[in-house]
Every structure is written in structure tokens, then in C-alpha cells.
Amino acid sequence: MKIYLNGDLVDKEKAVVSVFDHGLLYGDGVFEGIRLYDGCVFKLNEHLERLEYSAKAILLELPMNRLQLMDAVCDTCRANNLSNGYIRLVVTRGVGHLGLTPDGCGPPSVIIIADDIQLYPENLYENGLKIISVPTRRINASALPPAVKSLNYLNNILAKIEAKKVGFQEALMLNDKGEIAECTGDNVFVLSKGVLFTPPLDAGSLRGITRAAVMDIASELSIPCREQALTRYDLWTAEECFLTGTAAEVIPCVEVDHREVGNGQPGVMTQRFIAKFRENVREDGVKL
């Protein structure tokens, strides 16, 4: 496997960063997870725009422009003879001193990994996922904007561990108001009385690329879609529920906190969203 590291494609074993890199020491950096479908990098432009916004928000100057990053992503996929898979694009603050101040850090490190991935087993797409709400809350949006996709995911990791400890593969995270924020790596949607609902960004939800794609699909299918504060009650009583994310794509959720969603089976509309999303991914992106 070849890894893109600061301008070079190197063997996986040689793709190393300094122990003084602030990305390692403090989680000081940003990243994107991107999908590759049949040689098409899905919504690459949108992912790179979000990377730029995240970097600007944390005062990190990217060492490459969008076109250069686009070429580097495609070159990494080609170097690994990859036509389907997952791409992780990481930019760290770079090497610095032992201390929080970023003064003296740099240049930023750019890392691109292109590999196979399957977040959930296929049977869960057919039968649905069961999730549970956990004690760990989503970081308050006023403390760290959820739109910043930073390298520090400890909050989400703790929530994932809590869910795993009680036999669930995914955790539902609430904000400090007790409202639904998101799952550990996915956005949440529910369908009730013909309307699709998803938590607003200020509830602690990531500005998901797949989230936006699903909202576009809702428009195509003439299904009203609203960003609205949701509670666990709204999920417990929903007709359908599904999660969205770059790695997960669109996956049905059939149980929340031991309560069946609808009839406990993937909903008809959820299946339509899955089919439409899978149809669109090979048309909406950058060809290698």
C-alpha cells in the first residue's frame, strides 16, 4: 500500500510522522473521510471545501490549494489500484514543541490513506441497526463548533465504548439540553407523518456530506425535510429512522433504547433513500 505523505507516495511501513507532531500530541489538525465508488471520488469538492473551512476555523493554513489536494487524493487512489474504497485525508499542525502553543509548529503535515473499508456488516443494511443513548454528551456547540472536523474524537470514542459495553454497535449522543445531536460517526434522520426530520447543526450535529446528499434526495422524492430539535421521544415514536455518514452511507435503524422503531423492520421510505443514494454516488464526484 502507498500512502501520500507531504508530497510523496511512500510504502505504508515508511509512512511515519514525528512524535512531536501536534496532531499526535494534542489532536491539533483536521481531517475528511471520503468514499470512492467505481473510480469516482464522491463529492470530493464538497469534502475539500469542508476541510478548508475546518482548517480556517482552527487557524491552520493548508499547505496545498484545492486543486492540488484533489490531484493528491486521485493520485493516491491510482497508486493503490483502488476503484472502490475509503479515503482518509488528514492535515496536522505539524512538528512543534511540548506545549499547547502552536508557535513554531510547521509546516503542516498532509497525509492521505486510500484503502478498503466496511463500517457495518451487510446484514445490518438488510435488517437494521439497533442503537442506544449513552451518558457521554456531545461537546457543546458554543465550546467547539461541530462543523469543525478535528482530529480529537475522544468524546465520540467514549460514547462508542459505552454502547459496545452493553452490546450495541452504535451510540446515540445527546447535547447538554437532552436533545439529539448525532451518533458517534453518523447523522440521524427520522420520518414521521410523511415528513423527514434531522437535528439542526447547532444541536451538535456535524455538517455531514451524506446528510446534505440525503436532504437533496428528499427534495427529489418530494418529501418535506426539516431541521428541527429532536428528543429521544421523537425517535422512540418515529415511523422510520436511519443514520447517514460517509462510511456508513444510509443505514436503517430499527430500535432505539430497546424500543422498536415502527414495526421493527427497515422502512419503505428508508429503502428508497438507500437505493437512490447508491444510484447517485457513481454520478456525483470526480473521476480518477
Amino acid at site 286:
V
- DSSP letters spanning 131-184: EEE-SPPPPPTTTS-TT--BS--HHHHHHHHHHHHTT-SEEEEE-TTS-EEEES
- DSSP letters spanning 237-283: T-SEEEEEETTTEEEEEEEETTEESTTSS--HHHHHHHHHHHHHTTT
Task: Tell me the C-alpha distance between 167 and 161, whole Å.
Answer: 10
Q: Which residue has the cell 426539516?
A: 226
ω into residue 107 within 30 of 0, thus cis? yes
Q: Which three cell numbers stand for residue 232?
A: 429521544
Q: Is 149 a catalytic residue?
A: yes
Query: Other CB atoms closer than 10 Å to residue 116's CB: what's the count?
Result: 10
Candidates 2, 130, 149, 160; catalytic one = 149
SS3 191: strand
* Residue 44 near residue 286 (C-beta atoms within 8 A): yes
The set of catalytic residues is: 149
